[in-house]
Amino acid sequence: MKVLITGIDGYSGWPLALHLLARGHEVAGIDSFVTRRRVREVGSWSATPIPAWPKRQEAVRRLLGREIRFYRGDLARYPFVEEVLRTERPDAVVHLAEQRSAPYSMIDVHHAVATQAENLTGTLHLLYAMRELCPEAHLVKMGTMGEYGTPNVDIPEGFFEIEYRGRSDRLPFPRQAGSWYHWSKVFDSGDVMFATRIWGLRSTDVMQGVIYGIRTPEITDDALLTRFDFDEIWGTALNRFVVEAILGMPITPYGKGLQQRGFIALEDSMQSLRLAIEHPPAAGEYRVFNQFDAAYSINELAERTRAIAEEFGLHPTIEHPPDPRVEAEEHYYRPVHDHLTALGYRATRELNEVLRELFRDLRRFRRRLEAKRHVLLPVVQWRNADNAATLTARAGGPSAGPAPPPVAGTPPTRTEA
Ligand code: USQ
């Protein structure tokens, strides 16, 4: 199949491209490199040194003998979106090009607005352009398990049967997101569902849990590594815990640490996206996949990380900073996740095994971690309306707020600092 990945330079986009190429699919991609700029904005960098885009393309050519067609630009520009879809006419569009950090969206009003405006605009532009130029194509849209929040009942996959005042219906399950970022995904879900219904498009809304890990089988050379963020804004829980252990810092489950989330290894996340692509829904069908393997409490992750760290001669402590977020620190959590299994999905990675792999890989980049140890501690507080000044001070320079939209043109040639 011919697959267009938006956000191909990102943590998931890059390994997805490699995975699809290895399975014989044709891959094209879009990126504006905004994540690279925004990670710099908060004073951090990827633990893995990420080559500039042309070097990534070259590595794919050299190591896999394959080609990725690439378009640098921003989904905020509708003519750009139209131009790419007109040239590519893909069978599937995997939409990963969104601001993906909850803490980033909570910095201040500008970051909240940038997150929601960009995420919603990009999705609407894609929906309109698909309707116009490739109405038969399948949109695989990255949503998040965080759309549902933590209700005191089981969480279905998107829809549930409800009886109310003697009548029954199948309705979207209520959303109770926990950040401006997570709410942007809720609004996107509504837009994708509506566009699918009125225009007869095909779409899969992937409610993805927290991804962890750094490796997929296709990453056979350092030139093919994906980015790995560990700062408080861009790093996710388990990835951060491993880095904290390596740097001899306490592992930081926030608050009581009894908050639970669904987790999935990077490699299995790629498997499930591919299965979604290879099994498109019917025209007019909007379907929802809850994409995670197992639910863990944050304390359990911290404990597991500590135990594996011991195997590597490290002896981290576990400390509980006050939760910078406003979230239930103890709650019921039982989401259903059957739809992907029905398509043949099987988890291949076990948490402890991935933890060992993370320790092995990241110790090689210890100096890059060491140089940025100050960005690990949580600064962005959900209750504060303005966290920018604190962040700016820590980043050691003036922060101009959200990075400005990129100008379409030639890809940068410099390797990420
Ligand atoms: N947490 C800690 N300590 C830390 C970091 C996080 O206790 O040092 C806790 C958070 O308070 C939260 C949980 O771990 O309860 C998950 O936080 P996270 O930063 O790992 O993930 P989150 O902000 O929810 O967002 C990440 C991705 C996002 C994706 C989402 C899936 O950044 O793009 O949509 O995971 S989910 O969490 O299922 O909504």
- Closest ligand 1 atom number to CA of residue 237: 20
Q: Which residues are tagged catalytic?
A: 144, 181, 185
Ligand 1 midpoint to CA 21 (Å): 29
Alpha carbon distance 66, 18 (integer Å): 10
Alpha carbon distance 226, 365 (integer Å): 13
Task: Extract the residue ranges of the chain whose pLDDT is less than 50.
Answer: 399-400, 404-417
What are the tokens at 93? 């569009």
Ligand 1 midpoint to CA 350 (Å): 19
The residue ranges of every structural domain in the chain are 2-416
Task: Please report, as a single letter, which amino acid is at residue 22.
Answer: A
- The half-sphere exposure of 314 on its side-chain side, counting CA atoms within 13 A, is 24
Are the beta carbons of 321 and 378 closer than 8 angstroms?
yes
Ligand 1 midpoint to CA 237 (Å): 6
Alpha carbon distance 244, 155 (integer Å): 32
Task: Please report, as a single letter, which amino acid is at residue 85.
Answer: L
pLDDT at 401: 55
| Orientation angle between helical segments 237-246 and 298-311, nearest 10 degrees | 30
Alpha carbon distance 70, 93 (integer Å): 14
Q: Looking at the DSSP assignment, which residues form a beta bridge with residue 31?
A: 72
Ligand 1 midpoint to CA 88 (Å): 34
Overall pTM > 0.75: yes
Nearest Cα residue to atom 23 of ligand 1: 102
Q: Whose structure tokens read 């990075």?
A: 403
Rg of the chain, C-alpha, whole Å: 20
- Closest ligand 1 atom number to CA of residue 378: 8
Q: Where are the alpha helices (DSSP H) in 42-108?
A: 53-64, 78-88, 102-105
Nearest Cα residue to atom 35 of ligand 1: 210
Task: Please report, as a single letter, which amino acid is at residue 397.
Answer: G
In the chain, the N- to C-terminal Cα span, in Å, equals 35
DSSP state of 258: B
- Closest ligand 1 atom number to CA of residue 211: 35
Are the beta carbons of 45 and 39 closer than 8 angstroms?
yes
DSSP state of 374: G
- Closest ligand 1 atom number to CA of residue 146: 39
Are the beta carbons of 95 and 143 closer than 8 angstroms?
no
Task: Please report, as a single letter, which amino acid is at residue 174.
Answer: P
For 214-245, give the DSSP string: S--TT--SGGGPPP---STTT--HHHHHHHHH
Q: Looking at the DSSP assignment, which residues form a beta bridge with residue 211?
A: 264
Pocket-testing residue among 273, 298, 319, ligand 1, by greatest number of atoms within 8 A of Cβ: 298
Nearest Cα residue to atom 5 of ligand 1: 237
Alpha carbon distance 412, 40 (integer Å): 15
| Chain-centroid distance, C-alpha 304 | 23
| Chain-centroid distance, C-alpha 228 | 12
Residue 337 CB coordination number (10 Å): 23
- Please give all residues whose beta carbon lies within 6 A of any atom in ligand 1, as ranges: 100-102, 144-146, 208-210, 236-237, 240, 252-254, 259, 261-262, 298, 325, 327
CATH topology (fold) of 2-416: Rossmann fold (3.40.50)
pLDDT in tens, 74-83: 999 999 999 9
- Cβ-in-10-Å burial (0-12, 13-18, 19+) of 14 comes to buried
Alpha carbon distance 67, 87 (integer Å): 16
pLDDT in tens, 301-335: 999 999 999 999 999 999 999 999 999 999 999 99
Ligand 1 midpoint to CA 25 (Å): 31
